[in-house]
Amino acid sequence: MSQIISRQETCKVALKKQTLHEFLIYEAENVVRHNWSDVAIHDKRIVEKMFPGETRLWIIWELGSLMPAMYCKLTEKESMTKTDHCFSAVECYMLRFMKEGPFSDIQSQIVRNTSKFYFVTKGYGNYDYSVVPSTFCAVMDLVFCGKANPFLN
């Protein structure tokens, strides 16, 4: 006589309606292994302060997450027009992938292989948002206007 054994498998289930922060937590659940407070606390604060229509680059990897702005503040415009060497927050972060040296090369390869990149745009309501996945090369192409990709391996 055979027995039927039934058990519920644990699986990741997406909610039908998610706020932007709930979606970010859902996406980061399988990627972030350390520094979960980056997603749970810091990214939540950034999402709450974002204006409707504002777009940010969201980077997640096994050591946490980061959400730099894709724009420069108007207060920085004067200093940027006076000097040629002023960078936005997203440019500064993405320049880390282009450092030279043995430690930087290893670190860049690890981050490139474990990272996921998304463009996050907040809408007018709690459930109104857009999250578009992207690749490392596409992000570098956008941030540096296609001038950085020839230097990357």
pLDDT value at residue 44? 92
**For the chain, how many structural domains are there in total?**
1
Q: How far apart are CA 39 and CA 47, in angstroms?
A: 10
- 117 belongs to a structural domain: yes
pLDDT bucket at 135, cuts 50 / 70 / 90? confident
pTM: 0.77
**Per-residue pLDDT for 84 more than 70?**
no
Q: What is the pLDDT of residues 26-80, one digit of tens each?
A: 999 888 888 888 888 999 999 999 999 989 999 998 888 889 888 766 666 666 6
Range of the domain at 90: 20-151
Cα gap 48→39, rounded to integer Å:
13
Q: Are 60 and 32 in contact (CB under 8 A)?
A: yes
Region 67-94: mean pLDDT is 73
Q: Mean of the per-residue pLDDT values for the chain?
A: 79
pLDDT at 131: 92
State the DSSP H helix or E strand holding residue 137, giving kind and residue range, or none if neither: helix 136-143
Distance CA 58, CA 66 (A): 6
pLDDT: is 119 or 35 the higher one? 119
| Model pLDDT, residue 1 | 46
For residue 42 the two structure tokens come to 């810091």
Instruction: Name the pLDDT band for 124 (thresholds 50, 70, 90).
Output: very high
Compute how many other C-beta atoms are within 10 angstroms of the C-beta atom of residue 66. Answer: 19
